[in-house]
Structure 1
């Protein structure tokens, strides 16, 4: 079986496609013949040793896959063989020709969606759905979405189109800002504009921000806090593109009675996983389009990671065995 071997914590070149032992479904598991395996941003952080990994190197890398069930273990309905499923929650080992997973870690992929589109959608759309669920009713709200040109921010922007009163988005390049506008943002700023006093309020037409979806963290989150609507403004933190958590202390919330929600942890991830089927149905129904960059063979995994490290992607890169 060919798969991506992670040899040690470090740069992209610590990943390489290698031949290894075959895997087989244990009791309660299915084996999936992989058709598509997305490369996630968090995987680049695991590879570099910046966040914990479910398994230590050397090991087969990758967290998610889409493919056809070709083998079932004891206690699993054999009629599942031939079914296309999306697999997540395996922790590691998905960048390979075959991956084994518990039945509950799999969701059926609608016939209207191909394997690549399903793999792309499941990298960010379930998170976006969970964030909007947590934010509550945003009818007529003024909303800020950071990093809206790709990833979770792009899905948030698509889902908010026609739902919120005003969507203000940020993105880091001209190309990304164009994409954010195409996804439905009413106003698009550069990330750096968040550091300029009054820029966010001006972009919002003098309005305060009712809900901010923060994927940057650090000092940027603290500055966004000052632009929130007193008493009901909320900041939902779900990422650290700056490399650090939001620099917000409890005392900072007193000035306006603001709310900050950390969208993380095991219970949060369980809720995200529970929304996978709904996410795939949204794509199948045409209400959300997958945010896709390109497909690459397993042998190009280092190139994929390098492009993500350099923030040179327009969406999800998918490895195809």
Structure 2
């Protein structure tokens, strides 16, 4: 079968199309015929060597795929045969025509959803739902969603708007700002502008931000600290688009009575996994709308990674084996 092998860490060209053996399901596993493989931003960091690779190289790359279950291992419910599912691998293996995954990692796709929409929404939707629960967003809050046109940012914007909160989004450039507005942001600031924090001050007038969803990291939060509600302001840091996590010290938070929750690690990922089915259900109910930028042949995996790294994608990029 055709697959994309990560030969070593480095640029997108380390993702190479090769013929490899077909996987067999072990006990407790399924094999799916992949029809849509989402290209996830954290995968670009693993490929580049910023995050550690979860398996020795070379290896078939990829963390998620959506398709149809065609084989099952011992101990797996036979009712899964023929089911349309989104599957998560234990490390590598999803950039391929056939994908083996643990049965307890698969989520059955509601009949109302296409496989492509399910593949595009499950990761950003489940992260966004977990962020919303953790932040305890309530009607009447003012929320700042950084990078509101990204996958998770778009889902957060939609969920916050539906919850009756004032949503201020940030985006890089007018096209992404338009997407953020389409998703429900009431105001959008260009976070590439050097004075964007000053513009936020003007928007708030005498008000403050109750919740900041931080996906940029770096020093992006520093000019915002005095604009966050004292004593109950919450910062949820879940991304490093700037290349490093939020650069804040305990004193920055203590003197203002703010809390910062780091949204990473094993416990956090467990919470996200528990929201996978809810993300698909929310999409089937119309609460979330997936945005698909493009569907590329599996062999174009390197091109897909370049699109994400160059911030050229306006929605999820899917690979089709």
Specify if TM > 0.5: yes
Give runs of ≥4 in structure 1 deviating > 6 Å: none
Rounded Cα–Cα distance in structure 1 between residues aligned with 2:306 and 2:218: 24
In structure 1, what is the equivalent of residue 262 of structure 2?
262
Aligned to 2:51: 51
State the alpha-carbon separation in 2 of the partners of residues 227 and 297 from structure 1. 45
> 1:42-81 to 2 correspondence within 5 Å?
42-81=42-81
Aligned to 1:304: 304
Counting matched residue pairs gives: 321
**CA distance, structure 1, for counterparts of residue 309 and residue 258 of structure 2:** 33
Q: C-alpha separation between the residues in 2 aligned to 1:63 and 1:142?
A: 34
In the TM superposition, residue 201 of structure 1 has moved relative to its aligned partner by 1.9
The residue that corresponds to 1:101 in the other structure is 101
Distance 2:181 2:229 in 1: 24
| Conserved 8 A contact 2:189-2:196 | no
Preserved contact between residue 194 and residue 224 of structure 1 (Cα < 8 Å): no
With normalisation by structure 1, the TM-score equals: 0.97
Are residues 267 and 249 of structure 1, via their aligned partners in 2, closer, same or farther at CA, if it must alter by over 3 Å?
same
Deviation, structure 1 residue 224: 2.1
Shift in CA distance, 196/291, structure 1 to aligned 2, threshold 3 Å: closer
> What is the deviation of 1:103?
1.0
> 5+ residue gaps in structure 1?
none
- The equivalences for 1:63-142 within 5 A come to 63-142=63-142
Q: What 5-or-longer segments of structure 2 have no aligned partner?
A: none
Please say if residues 120 and 316 of structure 2, whose CA atoms lie closer than 8 Å, have aligned partners that are also in contact: yes
Q: How far 1:292 moved relative to its partner?
A: 1.2
Q: Does 1:151 align with 2:151?
A: yes
Q: Which residue of 1 aligns with 2:23?
A: 23
2: CA distance, partners of 1:152 / 1:141? 19
Report if aligned partners of 1:146, 1:171 keep a CA contact under 8 Å in 2: yes
For the 8 Å contact 2:89–2:102, the answer to whether it is kept is: no
Q: Which has the higher mean CA deviation after the structures are superposed, 52-61 or 127-136?
A: 52-61
1:274-293 aligned within 5 A: 274-293=274-293
Please report the RMSD computed on the Cα atoms of aligned residues, expressed in angstroms: 1.3
Partner deviation per Cα, 1:212-265 (whole Å, 9 max, x = no partner): 000011111222222101111111100010001111000111221111111111
What TM-score, normalized by structure 2, do the two folds share?
A: 0.97
